[in-house]
A and B are shown apart, each in its own frame.
Chain A
Amino acid sequence: MNIPVFKFDAVIVGAGGSGLRSAIQLSEAGLKTAVLSKVFPTRSHTVAAQGGVAASLGNSDADHWHWHMYDTVKGSDWLGDQDAIEYMCRKAVEAVVDLEHYGMPFDRTENGKIYQRPFGGHMSNFGEKPVRRSCAAADRTGHAMLHAMYQRNVKANTQFFVEWMALDLIRDSEGVVVGVTALEMETGQVVIFHSRAVIFATGGSGRIFASSTNAFINTGDGLGMAARAGIPLEDMEFWQFHPTGVAGAGVLITEGVRGEGGVLRNSDHERFMERYAPNAKDLASRDVVSRAMTTEIKEGRGCGPNKDYVLLDITHLEPATIMKRLPGIREISMQFAGVDPIKEPIPVVPTCHYQMGGIPTNYAGHVVAPDASGRQAIIPGFYAAGECACASVHGANRLGTNSLLDLLVFGKSAGDSAVADVKAEAAHRDLPANAADYSLARLNAINTQKDGVSVFEARQAIARTMQDHAGVFRFADLLKKGVTQILEVEKQVRRLEIKDKSQIWNTARVEALETENLIEVAKASMISAEARKESRGAHVRDDAPDTPEFPNGRNDKEWLKHTLWYREGNRIAYKPVQMTPLTVDTIALKTRSY
């Protein structure tokens, strides 16, 4: 088959924050740059990030990047790589100033400086007292950021391929990445993008869980492509959850609802948090509340026909208080839970929010994986940044507002690395023969499958299996069963069938392709979680409790290491955590408590 070849210096997959930030570096360096995106760039999920971006500008309070670094290491429960964390925190100020120059409308102080707000976990003087460090543009930080960077890219002549889906990485016989295959939705045409640098900026994969705050677009396409190309995925057991997402829908109900007096109840109408946290009750920290909710559901005291959620009750509050103090909550409850919270409690479950793991990179944005001798080696031609990448700055748990910082800093560093590498090479390397065959075979299997499994069924099976076996609070027996079950689900995904065989705008086919990416993320997450026999950060196991020997269940002797999951044989390997920062002393291991 004759497959068109488009030749670029660099191809970026994903047009959210990290993709757009990388593209600016490449296009402004004069390289011919393509950005592929499933949607128009300013519709990427970065829009949903409202909290702001952390940077120690010191505009509102005295601040220092070293304090920010300390908070990030502590937040990560010491699983973050300290070289990458130092790099990110030191570069934060520059990242914000760059955005300012791109026209980002940050909130201002009276004297015209960027206004900074407080955020959970941001402290001054190595954990001493709260500091205002988050820079925001009202509640539209992500949205404003995308617009500023998109405009900058238009000016720099970045070429956008909108409503295209990348299919697979192309590697030559030496393993060098030389391009990607992609599908244009409007025509159904498969194209080879032949390129000297490929940057993945595909975002998170939170749709593997039944309850997720992630938009539908977050199907882990970059992770699926990397895994199929033999590249391991790092620390995929670590997922950040929010305690109160609307059951079934995933839409977030803010913490403020409990702050205003909302209480959680089980099927016996009991205010169960009184048992788990007699003092803080419903205002206990996120992980404590999530764990209590999971325990109630697991022990059969969940609500609803499947007994799989609990209730967030504000019916005892005055309607006037609800309208005044919790604007928007009534509307969200009515639209997404189908209940008026003035009259009925809201069904909620702990809900997946952010993926800490991803494609392993160093702080320069190069993708790295062990070579034949076990040394961490750069995969030439391949870069990743943002939520799809694991640098690793978030380790076992992300500090709030570091996600936008991550995509700015590593988007830029990945772009800069790609510019340097492209300029050092004289020409494109040759494409391997039949470079699109693998992708075409995948498409053909989907197109010709008979008596197969529908995309809907397969997605349900993935999401249910992940939610029931590897949720916010984990149990050894469930994880074991989960591994068996997700491998069964994989067999269903191998037999996806679509009825629509058309070429033009065949969204059923695209959804099938997304599902093939979701299953790789799901396997990586379940298998990595089952293997890690400690509690750390967002990975909390019932059989690794808080003891004097292992505070919070964390076992540094055995588990201070990153997980690497390989698709082939579902093999797990480990690599050490980088404990040595670039210029400062190691932030020594300590028990994480707030």
Chain B
Amino acid sequence: MRNGAALTEGAVISRLRWRCTRRAMLEMDLLLGRFLEEEFPALSLEEQKIFMELADREDAQLWPWVSGKEECADIRLFPVIQRLRRYGEKRGARADPASVSPSPARQP
């Protein structure tokens, strides 16, 4: 995947949003897209980096971690995975009509 070096912060977030909402599995589109809007801004810089790294991983690996089917053994990633999982359960990533549009919060 290309990762341009000289992107502005806005472009980096835009690209991250694309990679969070155009995934292989609908479950992950919903979960990562909503998390990005609602929780990502409040993460520490280190956690934001880890989230970006997770967003570049594949759903076949991520989904078992965030759905609790498997435990993530990487202690560096684990706290953000836990946070995603708790967020999913709390928010119920959820059942509202906005789910037909990938990124409602930033629509002009």
Chain A positions within 8 Å of B, measured between CB atoms, are 38-40, 42-48, 140, 143, 162-163, 185-186, 207, 210, 212-217, 246-251, 327-328, 331-332, 334-339, 347, 454-456, 459-460, 463-464, 497-500, 502, 504-508, 510-511
A163 touches B1 (CB 8 A): yes
B41 at the interface (CB under 8 A from A): no
A456 touches B104 (CB 8 A): yes
Minimum CB distance partner of A499 in chain B: B108
- Report A550 CB to chain B, min CB distance, Å: 36
B30 touches A251 (CB 8 A): yes
6 tightest CB-CB pairs across the interface, nearest first? A338-B92, A499-B108, A47-B24, A248-B95, A456-B107, A335-B88
Q: What's the Cα separation between A460 and B97 when bound, in Å?
A: 8
Identify which of B7, B33, B97 contacts A248 (C-beta below 8 A). Answer: B97
A460 touches B100 (CB 8 A): yes
B25 touches A215 (CB 8 A): yes
- Report A292 CB to chain B, min CB distance, Å: 21
B107 touches A508 (CB 8 A): yes
Q: What's the Cα separation between A502 and B13 when bound, in Å?
A: 13
Known: A504-B7, A504-B8. A143 touches B99 (CB 8 A): no
B49 at the interface (CB under 8 A from A): no
Chain A residues with Cβ below 8 Å from B26 are: 48, 212-216, 249-251
Chain A residues with Cβ below 8 Å from B11 are: 502, 504-505
Q: What's the Cα separation between A322 and B23 when bound, in Å?
A: 29
A38-B22, A216-B29, A497-B108 given. 7 additional CB < 8 A pairs?
A45-B24, A185-B15, A215-B29, A331-B67, A504-B11, A510-B18, A511-B103
Minimum CB distance partner of A504 in chain B: B11
A455 touches B58 (CB 8 A): no
B100 touches A210 (CB 8 A): yes
B94 touches A338 (CB 8 A): yes
Q: What's the Cα separation between A362 and B10 when bound, in Å?
A: 46
Query: Most chain-B CB neighbours within 10 Å: which of A43, A217, A464?
Result: A43
B107 touches A454 (CB 8 A): yes
Chain B residues with Cβ below 8 Å from A337 are: 92, 94-95
Chain B interface: which size bin?
35 or more
Chain B residues with Cβ below 8 Å from A506 are: 14
Query: What mask results when residues 66 to 108 of chain B are scored 1 for a CB within 8 Å of chain A, else 0?
Result: 0111000000000000000000110111111111111110111
Chain B residues with Cβ below 8 Å from A454 are: 107-108
Chain A residues with Cβ below 8 Å from B28 are: 215
- Report A380 CB to chain B, min CB distance, Å: 32
B93 touches A460 (CB 8 A): no
Chain A residues with Cβ below 8 Å from B33 are: 216
Chain B residues with Cβ below 8 Å from A508 are: 106-108
Chain B residues with Cβ below 8 Å from A497 are: 108
Minimum CB distance partner of B19 in chain A: A39
A143 touches B58 (CB 8 A): yes
Query: Most chain-B CB neighbours within 10 Å: which of A46, A331, A339, A497?
Result: A331
B7 touches A505 (CB 8 A): yes
Q: What's the Cα separation between A269 and B102 when bound, in Å?
A: 33
B14 touches A505 (CB 8 A): yes
Q: What's the Cα separation between A48 and B59 when bound, in Å?
A: 9
Chain B positions within 8 Å of A, measured between CB atoms, are 1-2, 4, 7-8, 10-12, 14-15, 17-19, 21-31, 33, 58-60, 67-69, 88-89, 91-104, 106-108
B97 touches A163 (CB 8 A): no
Chain A residues with Cβ below 8 Å from B108 are: 454-455, 497-500, 508
A335 touches B23 (CB 8 A): no
- Report B56 CB to chain A, min CB distance, Å: 9
> Can you name 27 A-B pairs with beta carbons within 8 Å?
A42-B24, A47-B24, A47-B60, A143-B60, A162-B1, A163-B2, A212-B26, A215-B28, A249-B95, A250-B26, A251-B27, A251-B30, A331-B67, A331-B89, A332-B67, A334-B89, A335-B31, A335-B67, A336-B94, A337-B94, A338-B94, A347-B95, A455-B101, A460-B97, A504-B14, A505-B12, A506-B14
Identify which of B68, B97, B101 contacts A331 (C-beta below 8 A). Answer: B68
A507 touches B17 (CB 8 A): yes
Q: What's the Cα separation between A526 and B7 when bound, in Å?
A: 42
Q: What's the Cα separation between A170 and B89 when bound, in Å?
A: 47
B18 touches A185 (CB 8 A): yes
Minimum CB distance partner of B27 in chain A: A251
Chain A residues with Cβ below 8 Å from B30 are: 249, 251, 336
Query: Most chain-A CB neighbours within 10 Å: which of B8, B21, B33, B94?
Result: B94
Identify which of B7, B8, B24, B102 contacts A43 (C-beta below 8 A). Answer: B24
A460 touches B101 (CB 8 A): yes
Chain B residues with Cβ below 8 Å from A213 are: 26
Q: What's the Cα separation between A364 and B27 when bound, in Å?
A: 35
Q: What's the Cα separation between A336 and B92 when bound, in Å?
A: 5
Q: What's the Cα separation between A278 and B50 when bound, in Å?
A: 53
B93 touches A336 (CB 8 A): yes
Identify which of A42, A45, A216, A336 contacts B21 (C-beta below 8 A). Answer: A216
Known: A162-B2, A216-B29, A505-B11. A335 touches B92 (CB 8 A): yes
A43 touches B93 (CB 8 A): no
Chain B residues with Cβ below 8 Å from A339 are: 92
- Report A348 CB to chain B, min CB distance, Å: 10
Chain A residues with Cβ below 8 Å from B60 are: 47, 140, 143
Q: What's the Cα separation between A162 and B18 when bound, in Å?
A: 12
Chain B residues with Cβ below 8 Å from A44 are: 24
Chain A residues with Cβ below 8 Å from B8 are: 504
Minimum CB distance partner of A506 in chain B: B14
Q: What's the Cα separation between A42 and B10 when bound, in Å?
A: 26
- Report A568 CB to chain B, min CB distance, Å: 28
B99 touches A248 (CB 8 A): yes
Minimum CB distance partner of A245 in chain B: B26
Known: A163-B18, A185-B18. A47 touches B59 (CB 8 A): yes
Query: Most chain-A CB neighbours within 10 Å: which of B4, B59, B67, B92?
Result: B92
Chain B residues with Cβ below 8 Å from A500 are: 108
Chain B residues with Cβ below 8 Å from A505 are: 7, 11-12, 14-15, 18
Query: Most chain-B CB neighbours within 10 Å: which of A47, A212, A327, A500?
Result: A47
Q: What's the Cα separation between A510 and B24 when bound, in Å?
A: 18
A47 touches B25 (CB 8 A): yes
- Report B29 CB to chain A, min CB distance, Å: 5
B95 touches A338 (CB 8 A): yes
- Report B44 CB to chain A, min CB distance, Å: 24
